Structure 1
Amino acid sequence: MPKTKRSRGRPKDESKRTALLDAARTLLLATGPEVTTDNIASRAGVSKSTLYANFADKKTMIEAVIRREADLTITDEEFASFSQERLTPESLVSFGIRYVTFINQRELAGWDRLIASIATEHPEFHKKIFELGPGRAQQLLIQLLKQGMQQGFLAQVDADVAADVLTGLWLGFVNIEVKLGVRDPLSEHEVEKRVQRGVSIFLHVYGS
């Protein structure tokens, strides 16, 4: 009987990776991209060797933190399953609730500051971070709308413009108020109502 081939080295401890991502998230929002790997490892309660066993460098870690946040909207696997079905008002509302729930957090102002800081200090890295984070959800929405156009559910228009209109209907001025802390984040009920109303208006204009 052939011997089972063992992987070399110790298997990564997912709990330590999670602790590192949690620590990096907290420190990045508090101090920006200048946070050091020493600070992150110390807050996570692990050694720097453990940090580098999980992440090649600080940029790789920042990418992982941003991507994990983006997955709160919808993971690639969830989107693949989601996009296999025909687009309907209900599925558009379902995606919209995920989208707005993620945006509807006061902490997001910290992410805005972080991405702006990265743009100033690491301009070559900025676009990649944007595409992993805020840009990703918008691109997924554009894909959904293109799918709806191909299925005859939506009129044939510029999908980028249509997605911009739809997110504007979902978020509105209240998004600025939440970010600036002059009002509380929307409740689950408020999110649902805003998304439903936005989809209804959107389909009145763009429905085929």
Structure 2
Amino acid sequence: MPDSIRSGRANKPAGAGRPKDLAKRAAILEAAKRMFTRNGFEGASMDQIATEAGVSKLTVYSHFGDKDTLFVAAVRAYCEQQLPSSLFQTEAPGMPLRERLLAIARAFYVMVSKPEAVAGHRVLCSPQLSDSPLPRMFWDAGPQRVQDEFAALLRRRIAAGELDIADVGRAAAQFFTLVKGEPHAQLVFGCCDPMGEDGIESHLAASVDLFLRGYGVHRR
């Protein structure tokens, strides 16, 4: 069965077998993350992913339909695991804005600097995928979700009088671009010496401070 064929099977309603189905789905997603990172999108087959997950290929198709859908689901699962919605939605009472932004910056940088994330970035920038829909699908499932949730946090802080931002979407994109910065670019190119925890922390603090100088409401 080629990867492009969709099984067309609907998920079964919740019942006695449902927890087992959820466990299989989680195993497939974990296997997909490993195989896409190790072999790239083109090199990872549904057969390999099924074997890695310990399930049949039919089970993989019944959960995800095709390889494109599985890739997007794996990206979404990775981002939600590393940067959960609660990080943006749960406001600790009295937490200063700078501390809040630093916490998000740290979690985001840890996520994008992991070896599997760097490998995935390289795969998506490869000539083989330049004309495919995969980069756009990846963007919508991962970075766009993160930016949208961060933008919602910015709007709450604007309403609280802590930020002054005319274009919230643009500001959200700028924040994560600052956080990645030169250190992440060097990771992708494989041309840097490790900065160490102190170096990364200084980079993140400087990025947050620059963002606040541009958009923070400075009271006397």
State the TM-score, normalizing by the size of structure 2. Answer: 0.75
In the TM superposition, 1:94-105 aligns within 5 A as: 94-105=103-114
Aligned mates of 1:24, 1:83 — CA distance in 2: 35
Partner of 1:69: 78
Aligned mates of 2:14, 2:74 — CA distance in 1: 27
Q: Aligned pair count?
A: 201
**Structure 2 stretches lacking a partner, 5+ long:** 1-12
Partner of 2:159: 150
| Residue 120 of structure 1 pairs with residue 131 of structure 2 | yes
Aligned mates of 1:196, 1:67 — CA distance in 2: 27
> Relative to structure 1, is the Cα distance of residues 126 and 201 closer, same or farther in structure 2, using a 3 angstrom cutoff?
closer
More deviation, 175-184/107-116: 107-116
| Residue 18 of structure 1 pairs with residue 26 of structure 2 | yes
Aligned mates of 1:66, 1:167 — CA distance in 2: 18
> Relative to structure 1, is the Cα distance of residues 19 and 156 closer, same or farther in structure 2, using a 3 angstrom cutoff?
closer
Give yes or no for contact 1:99–1:137 (8 Å, CA) kept in 2.
no
More deviation, 188-197/173-182: 188-197
Give yes or no for contact 1:12–1:54 (8 Å, CA) kept in 2.
no
Give yes or no for contact 2:109–2:180 (8 Å, CA) kept in 1.
yes
- Cα deviation for residue 78 of structure 1 reads 4.2
| Deviation by residue 1:34-65 (Cα, 9 ceiling, x = unmatched) | 33211211222221233234333323321220
| Residue 191 of structure 1 pairs with residue 200 of structure 2 | yes
| Residue 177 of structure 1 pairs with residue 174 of structure 2 | no
Partner of 2:81: helix, strand, or coil? coil
User: Kindly, what percent of the aligned residue pairs are identical?
Assistant: 26
Aligned mates of 1:54, 1:12 — CA distance in 2: 14
Aligned mates of 2:102, 2:77 — CA distance in 1: 23
- Paired AA for residue 176 in structure 1: A
**Structure 1 stretches lacking a partner, 5+ long:** 1-5
Partner of 1:32: helix, strand, or coil? helix
More deviation, 61-70/152-161: 152-161
> Relative to structure 1, is the Cα distance of residues 138 and 7 closer, same or farther in structure 2, using a 3 angstrom cutoff?
closer
> Relative to structure 1, is the Cα distance of residues 127 and 165 closer, same or farther in structure 2, using a 3 angstrom cutoff?
closer
State the TM-score, normalizing by the size of structure 1. Answer: 0.79
Higher relative contact order (CA 8 A, sep 6+): 1
Partner of 1:3: none
- Cα deviation for residue 77 of structure 1 reads 4.2
Aligned mates of 1:48, 1:114 — CA distance in 2: 24
- Cα deviation for residue 178 of structure 1 reads 1.1
- Paired AA for residue 26 in structure 1: R
Aligned with residue 32 of structure 1, among 31, 40, 50: 40
Aligned mates of 2:101, 2:200 — CA distance in 1: 14
> Relative to structure 1, is the Cα distance of residues 202 and 78 closer, same or farther in structure 2, using a 3 angstrom cutoff?
closer
Aligned mates of 2:28, 2:172 — CA distance in 1: 35
Aligned mates of 1:84, 1:128 — CA distance in 2: 36
Give yes or no for contact 1:70–1:133 (8 Å, CA) kept in 2.
yes
- Cα deviation for residue 12 of structure 1 reads 4.4
- Cα deviation for residue 70 of structure 1 reads 1.0
How much is the aligned-residue C-alpha RMSD, in angstroms?
2.9
Partner of 2:140: 131
